Amino acid sequence: LELPSDVKEARQGGVFIALDFADLSEALVLTNAIGPQHQLYKIGLELFTAYGPLSVSQLIAENKKIFLDLKLHDIPNTVAGACRSIAKLGAEFLTIHAEGGAEMIRAARITCDEEAGRYAKPPLKLLAVTRLTSLASTPEQVTQLAILAQESGAHGVIASPLEASAIKKNCGEDFLVVCPGIRRQDSTVDDQRRVSTPGAAADAGADYIVVGRPITRAKNPAVSLKEISDEFLAGKKHKGG
Ligand code: C5P
């Protein structure tokens, strides 16, 4: 399966702010506090199950780029159907579980490609969740799942910065790696088990990082974003030579 041209563009990367809110108006207060120049936001199960497509369309109306973190995992036909519905919404990234298997991932990818031409929207790109951080895993297991996801048509994976460099080595630079579990040095880790700094994630080869509470619960979210984003982008630039 061919890599779409916009994957190269997607590799510019950045910081996805996780909008883990139960209330859409709270999410919009946050996006306003951050300001119009920042576009990357992640909508997860909490907001999406409460507001559905409206949560995506409201943010797209504000010119945001949406990563829809729904972690799909079902039989291929059902996941393909969900992808068909999601393609209409205009999100740019969607998560599916690598453990759903090759056939499920392939069905999702074929559907995304079929739907891509129908709407005046960027094509939906698939990010495979390798192994949930709440479950035990080995680096080999995670790398194997990343390879399976890539061979089956995923555009990238969600992984910890500790696994990112092995994934890039095995899957190549154009296979996107998106890393959650990010904290600045000296900050609280909340319920994250293993954390990395934005700089360490950049060094490991992350294209994007996902950051929630360190920004959404900061006294000044815009300042927190700037600190995190500066550290991440400086690290990426350094790595790129
Ligand atoms: O607030 P915090 O920065 O910990 O939020 C991290 C975000 O990344 C949450 O939306 C969480 O669901 C997501 N995530 C994660 N670890 C994973 C996969 C997703 O923290 N392994």
Between 164 and 187, the more confident residue is: 164
Tell me the CA–centroid distance for residue 54 and ligand 1, in Å: 22
88 is catalytic: no
**Interval 181-206 mean pLDDT:** 90
pLDDT at 2 over 60: no
Please name which of 122, 130, 227 lies closest in space to residue 180, comparing C-alpha atoms: 130
Rg for the chain (alpha carbons), in Å? 17
Q: What pLDDT, in 10s, does the model give residues 99-109?
A: 999 999 999 99
Question: If you search the block for the tokens 């995190």, which residue do you land on?
Answer: 228
In this predicted structure, the answer to whether residue 195 has a pLDDT above a threshold of 80 is yes
Atom 12 (ligand 1): residue with closest C-alpha?
Answer: 44
pLDDT at 131: 85
Q: How far is the CA of 165 from the centre of ligand 1 (A)?
A: 19
Mean pLDDT (the chain) is 93
The catalytically annotated residue of 71, 88, 121, 226 is 71
User: What percentage of the chain carries pLDDT values higher than 90?
Assistant: 82
Q: How far apart are CA 84 and CA 80, in angstroms?
A: 6
Ligand 1 neighbours by CB, cut-off 6 Å? 18, 20, 44, 132-133, 158, 180-181, 190, 192, 210-214
The tens digit of pLDDT for each residue in 114-173 reads 999 887 778 899 999 998 877 888 889 999 999 999 999 999 999 999 999 999 999 999
What pLDDT score was predicted for residue 197? 97
CA of 212 to the centre of ligand 1 (A): 7
pLDDT on residue 133: 77
- pLDDT value of position 137: 85
Which of 20, 93, 210, 224 for mutating ligand 1's site (highest number of atoms within 8 Å of CB)? Answer: 210
Terminal Cα distance for the chain, rounded: 30
Q: Which atom of ligand 1 is nearest to the CA of 192?
A: 4
Burial degree of 206 (CB within 10 A; 0-12, 13-18, 19+): buried
pTM of the predicted structure, to 2 decimals:
0.94
CA of 182 to the centre of ligand 1 (A): 9
pLDDT tens digits along 50-77:
999 999 999 999 999 999 999 999 999 9
